[in-house]
Amino acid sequence: MGATKAKRMPREVREQQMMDAAVQTFGRRGYRAASMDDIAELAGVSKPLVYLYLNSKEELFTACIRREAAALLDAVRGAVEPGLPADRQLWAGLAAFFTHTAEHPDGWSVLHRQARTTGEPFAAEVVALRGEVVAFVTGLIGAAARETLAATDRAPDLAERDVAGLAQALVGAAESLAGWANETPGMTAKETAATLMNFAWAGLGNLMDGRGWSPG
Amino acid sequence: MGATKAKRMPREVREQQMMDAAVQTFGRRGYRAASMDDIAELAGVSKPLVYLYLNSKEELFTACIRREAAALLDAVRGAVEPGLPADRQLWAGLAAFFTHTAEHPDGWSVLHRQARTTGEPFAAEVVALRGEVVAFVTGLIGAAARETLAATDRAPDLAERDVAGLAQALVGAAESLAGWANETPGMTAKETAATLMNFAWAGLGNLMDGRGWSPG
Amino acid sequence: MGATKAKRMPREVREQQMMDAAVQTFGRRGYRAASMDDIAELAGVSKPLVYLYLNSKEELFTACIRREAAALLDAVRGAVEPGLPADRQLWAGLAAFFTHTAEHPDGWSVLHRQARTTGEPFAAEVVALRGEVVAFVTGLIGAAARETLAATDRAPDLAERDVAGLAQALVGAAESLAGWANETPGMTAKETAATLMNFAWAGLGNLMDGRGWSPG
Amino acid sequence: MGATKAKRMPREVREQQMMDAAVQTFGRRGYRAASMDDIAELAGVSKPLVYLYLNSKEELFTACIRREAAALLDAVRGAVEPGLPADRQLWAGLAAFFTHTAEHPDGWSVLHRQARTTGEPFAAEVVALRGEVVAFVTGLIGAAARETLAATDRAPDLAERDVAGLAQALVGAAESLAGWANETPGMTAKETAATLMNFAWAGLGNLMDGRGWSPG
DNA sequence: AATGAATGAGACTTCATTCAT
DNA sequence: AATGAATGAAGTCTCATTCAT
């Protein structure tokens, strides 16, 4: 641990070292509790250099959020093969999601725990990320609906709002399970993805058949 | 808003005023970003009085967590009538949960966003709360399984670990939907509860039938 | 420990309870570190009552100094019988001094350690006490000199300044030994007094004979 | 007075300036009454710099105690030539002691008045210093006894405990005289040392002859 | 005779940030 | 490309003291 202390590295390398240190520190301690001193020390550079490259604590945190968000999105998108059936796509995306969060717990913490609780302007960054994810999932649910309809030749029976709520619930459940899986030894990403698919898929299917649960 | 500025109130009343102010401030700004000055001012008292009654920022935060956790648990437990079928119980509990979180957004923020990200010893308080909720939900799922089995005369087919994962997913989805509902105008607690039941119940039923989704 | 909590005591009794608590607290913690809260609690009364009777922390400390100084002076003066030879008087005074400081360690601490280090106006109080003691000792040394001269029919050979220095040294040694004796188990007041007399008396005698030590 | 306000000094220099200011402030006002603001201002730096270099008020005070203790011990040890007779060694040590305390009254105050009354962990530092001094003096008294015995061919007559008491008394007297000499204009260190030698040496001699004072 | 309620002022400490080299 | 030196501002907490009953 601890960055290589070699002097005179090219700017881009130093910058990544600093951001690695920042993600780790922010992710574990939170934005306020993380000090620029901590980050500089962990990065193995002096504080003025951090400011020279990243300008301010706020910009540094924002840069961390964006880097980690992009990495997560790339991982999920890269795992989904467009040609497959919707349920397989969804499963592949979830597996990639759980894999990535397990392999980058500090980055995931920055996105899911810290950025969302630190208020504006950071929460907005995560809202954007989450919006992309929800849209992606919404699209998959819609595709699944269409596939089902095509196979059974029935009329669509899902309001827009229901789909949105379902996507929210699915994403929320995934976020929750990511934290739980990280804390549960022996829980692999694929098992976690299967658990969630089990939980969600049948319900989605029933909904599309118009056989939802109702309090009546 | 802003506490009544009447002087010379009995201790217990002042203490509640302070905790109201603290929950609001902690919930909106987070533990670190909330200053005791802010809280005292919002409570309409001087800072030393806050310290006289609540001892320290840490103890104040802990007291807030416990008060809000107790209020949430009471609301959910009070809404569930033990005699009803499991699905009705679950629905009633969810509705009460969404109602309470909608009516106490700052308290919910303290529990769900802030306490969990502020590290020990606060996270442990919420872990305890969440553990009670998960146990409660786990019990309901088990009851539902037994009811189903009694009706259909089939053997149980749910491993302990699956139930635990399902409860986690359900609670996580509920937590996520609580935030979403708070930010979505016109979304009532009952609608939110119905959305989640739709999403979850059919899936649970299928699982109990041994017809889970699998990647194969 | 802990004053009787009976309510409605006559003023003078309450005042002594408070001063007892104050002497103990000041003596053990020092003026600054002792808080009025501590003192009031130890005295078993509310803080406003302490202020009602003793007016302020400064006045309270001053009152403590004066009470303890008077007690110490009374103890020493009461032990010295004017008719005896000077050395017996000195010994009796020292024994009384060591007895009193051993029996009232907090009071002695207030006088010797705390009041002297807390700056004006408190140091002046102790300077006055010490001045009385030094004058008393100086008188005894003078008397001893006269007795010696009367017996040996020689001219006096002690300058005023030497006597003052000797008295200072003797008092300083006594103060130092008081602390040491308090910390040395099994060291009685009379033994301590004898140690100091052993150390000092022969030297005084030699000096009066003009046989002092000199670097030459 | 007042440190040079030149900016951008090397760390070691600044650190000494800060400790000079701290010794002066602690020595005159005491540990509790001295504020870090006062010290920083007297040192001509901002408060954060004091914390950056010295970490905390406690560590700063401890550093002051150690620096001043070392300086005092060095001064006394450096003045004593091992080859000389014991009485000359003692006198030289006392003269150096009184010289040093006269030239560094604030440092002496830190050691003798403030550190001893501020409680742990500071008192322990001074106990260690004083222990070294008492051991040193004890050694000299023992050496003197042996020299006397060698010259007069008599048996030793001093118990261990008596020697310890005598050393205590001598050190106590010296400490007391140091304060007195500082407050008495025109009193030089050598005069003070001679006064104490006069007071103490003959008494020690008599004791070694077995001719101590006794109340009988 | 006595106290619960309340506070202005000031203490120690930390942090994001800049300056000069 | 990089850093040692330095600080304004703000935060948590304590304390002597008073008010109203």
Angstrom distance (rounded) from CA B116 to CA D170: 64
Q: What pLDDT was estimated at residue B13?
A: 94
Under the banding of pLDDT at 50, 70 and 90, the label for residue B1 is very low
- The CATH class of C63-208 is mainly alpha
Nearest nucleotide (C1') to alpha carbon of B10: E5
Q: What pLDDT was estimated at residue B144?
A: 75
Do the chains contact at B169 and A202, CB–CB below 8 Å? no
Angstrom distance (rounded) from CA C41 to CA C52: 15
Length of chain C: 216
| C176 contact partners, CB below 8 Å, separation of at least 6 | D168, D169, D171, D172, D173, D175, D176
Which of B116, B141, B148, B198 to probe by mutation at the A interface, max A CB count within 10 Å?
Answer: B198
The residue written with tokens 């996507």 in the block is A167
Least confident of A50-59, C73-82, D80-89: D80-89
Q: What pLDDT was estimated at residue B181?
A: 84
pLDDT of D7 strictly over 60:
yes
Q: What pLDDT was estimated at residue A78?
A: 92
Terminal CA-CA length for chain C: 58
Tell me the pLDDT tens digit for each residue of D24-67.
999 999 999 999 999 999 999 999 999 999 999 999 999 999 99
Neighbours of chain D (3+ CB pairs under 8 A): C
Q: What pLDDT was estimated at residue C196?
A: 84
Least confident of A155-159, B199-203, D113-117, D122-126: A155-159
Least confident of A109-118, C160-169, D94-103: C160-169
Angstrom distance (rounded) from CA A95 to CA A91: 6
Residue A148 near residue A92, CB atoms below 8 Å: no
The CA angle B68-B74-B77, to the nearest 5 degrees, is 140
Distance from CA of C9 to the nearest CA of D (A): 35
Angstrom distance (rounded) from CA C61 to CA C64: 5
User: Which residue type sits at B111?
Assistant: L
Q: Which of C199, C205, C213 sits opposite D169 (nearest CB)?
A: C199
Q: Is the dihedral of CA B131, B132, B136, B137 positive or negative?
A: negative
Tell me the domain boundaries of chain D: 65-208
Write out the DSSP string of C83-140. Answer: TS-HHHHHHHHHHHHHHHHHH-HHHHHIIIIIHHHS-TTHHHHHHHHHHHHHHHHHHH
Q: Angle formed by the axes of helices B57-79 and B86-103, to 10°?
A: 140
CA–centroid distance for A44 within its chain: 29
Q: What are the structure tokens assigned to C159, written together? A: 């300058």
Do the chains contact at B204 and A207, CB–CB below 8 Å? no
Angstrom distance (rounded) from CA A58 to CA B160: 45
Chain B, nearest residue to A109 by Cα: B117
The CA angle B101-B27-A179, to the nearest 5 degrees, is 75
Strand F contact residues in chain A (112-171), C-beta within 7 Å: none
Under the banding of pLDDT at 50, 70 and 90, the label for residue B185 is confident
Query: In angstroms, how far is F15 C1' from C169 CA?
Result: 40
Do the chains contact at D212 and C204, CB–CB below 8 Å? no
Under the banding of pLDDT at 50, 70 and 90, the label for residue C183 is confident
Pick C125 or B166 by higher pLDDT: C125
Q: Long-range contacts: C70-78, Cβ < 8 Å, 24+?
A: C71/C100, C71/C104, C71/C107, C72/C97, C72/C100, C72/C101, C72/C104, C72/C107, C72/C108, C72/C111, C72/C129, C73/C129, C73/C132, C73/C133, C75/C99, C75/C100, C76/C100, C76/C133, C76/C136, C77/C136
Q: Which of D166, D176, D211 sits opposite C199 (nearest CB)?
A: D166
Task: Output the CA–CA distances (angstroms, integers) from residue C182 to A198, C187, D129, D141, in the order listed.
Answer: 79, 8, 20, 24
pLDDT of B138 strictly over 90:
no
Task: Output the CA–CA distances (angstroms, integers) from residue B37 to A80, B10, B43, B46, B89, in the order listed.
Answer: 50, 21, 10, 8, 44
Under the banding of pLDDT at 50, 70 and 90, the label for residue C3 is very low
Region D10-22: what's the mean pLDDT? 96
| A65-208, CATH topology level | Tetracycline Repressor; domain 2 (1.10.357)
Q: Which of C44, C34, C41, C39 is nearest to C7 (CA)?
A: C44
Distance from CA of C195 to the nearest CA of D (A): 7
Chain B, nearest residue to A190 by Cα: B215
| B54 contact partners, CB below 8 Å, separation of at least 6 | B15, B18, B19, B22, B60, B63
Under the banding of pLDDT at 50, 70 and 90, the label for residue D4 is very low
pLDDT of C177 strictly over 70:
yes
Residues of B in contact with A172 (CB under 8 A): 172-173, 175-177, 179-180
Do the chains contact at D201 and C195, CB–CB below 8 Å? no
CA–centroid distance for A205 within its chain: 25
Q: Chain F bases under 7 Å from protein CB?
A: 1-21
Query: In angstroms, how far is F2 C1' from C116 CA?
Result: 53
Angstrom distance (rounded) from CA A167 to CA A174: 10
Terminal CA-CA length for chain A: 58
Q: How many other CB atoms are found less than 10 A from the CB of residue A148?
A: 16
Q: Which of C93, C101, C89 is nearest to C180 (CA)?
A: C101
CATH no. for B64-208:
1.10.357.10
Q: Is the dihedral of CA C69, C72, C78, C83 positive or negative?
A: negative
Pick A163 or C24 by higher pLDDT: C24
Q: What are the structure tokens assigned to D193, written together? A: 């040392």
Which of C182, C213, C214 to probe by mutation at the D interface, max D CB count within 10 Å?
Answer: C213
Residues 41-100 of C with CB under 8 A from D: 87-88, 91
Angstrom distance (rounded) from CA B3 to CA B5: 6
The residue written with tokens 């009952």 in the block is B190
Pick D173 or C97 by higher pLDDT: C97
Q: What pLDDT was estimated at residue B52?
A: 96
Q: Which of A38, A98, A26 is nearest to A63 (CA)?
A: A26
**Residues of chain A under the 50 pLDDT cut:** 1-5
Q: What pLDDT was estimated at residue B7?
A: 73
Q: What are the structure tokens assigned to B26, written together? A: 């902690």
Q: Is the dihedral of CA B152, B153, B158, B163 positive or negative?
A: positive
Pick D1 or A192 by higher pLDDT: A192
pLDDT of B157 strictly over 60:
no
Rounded percentage of chain B residues whose pLDDT exceeds 70: 85
Question: Would an 8 Å CB–CB cutoff place A123 in contact with chain B?
Answer: no
pLDDT of C157 strictly over 70:
no
Q: What pLDDT was estimated at residue A161?
A: 65
Q: Chain E bases under 7 Å from protein CB?
A: 1-21
Question: Would an 8 Å CB–CB cutoff place C201 in contact with chain D?
Answer: yes
Do the chains contact at A202 and B215, CB–CB below 8 Å? no
Angstrom distance (rounded) from CA C190 to CA C202: 18
Residue D138 near residue D163, CB atoms below 8 Å: yes
pLDDT of B169 strictly over 70:
yes
Residue C89 near residue C50, CB atoms below 8 Å: no
Strand F contact residues in chain C (130-159), C-beta within 7 Å: none
Exposure string for A26-60, b = 16+ CB within 10 A, e = fewer: bbbbbbbbbebebbbbbbbbeeebbeebbeebeeb
Query: In angstroms, how far is E1 C1' from C40 CA?
Result: 16
Write out the DSSP string of A138-188. Answer: HHHHHHHHHHHHHHHT------HHHHHHHHHHHHHHHHHHHHHHHHSTT--
Do the chains contact at B117 and A114, CB–CB below 8 Å? yes
Q: Angle formed by the axes of helices A189-208 and B189-208, to 10°?
A: 110
A52 sits within 7 Å of strand F by its CB: yes
Question: Would an 8 Å CB–CB cutoff place A135 in contact with chain B?
Answer: no
Q: How many other CB atoms are found less than 10 A from the CB of residue B88?
A: 14
Task: Output the CA–CA distances (angstroms, integers) from residue D26 to D29, D42, D112, in the order listed.
Answer: 5, 12, 12
Mean model confidence pLDDT for chain B: 86
| B56 contact partners, CB below 8 Å, separation of at least 6 | none
Angstrom distance (rounded) from CA C133 to CA A156: 107
What pTM was estimated for this model as a whole? 0.86
Angstrom distance (rounded) from CA B31 to CA B49: 19
Element (H, E) at B75: helix B57-79
Least confident of A58-62, B45-49, C99-103, D88-92: D88-92
Mean model confidence pLDDT for chain D: 86
The CA angle D95-D98-D100, to the nearest 5 degrees, is 105
User: Backbone dihedral region of B55: left (phi > 0), alpha (psi from -120 to 50 degrees) or beta?
Assistant: left
Query: In angstroms, how far is F15 C1' from D18 CA?
Result: 28
Under the banding of pLDDT at 50, 70 and 90, the label for residue D144 is confident
Rounded percentage of chain C residues whose pLDDT exceeds 70: 84
Under the banding of pLDDT at 50, 70 and 90, the label for residue D12 is very high
Q: Which of C170, C212, C149 is nearest to D202 (CA)?
A: C212
Number of helices and strands (H, E) in chain D? 10, 0
CATH 3.30.110.70 corresponds to the domain A1-55: no
| Phi, psi for residue C212 in degrees, rounded to 5 | -75, 165
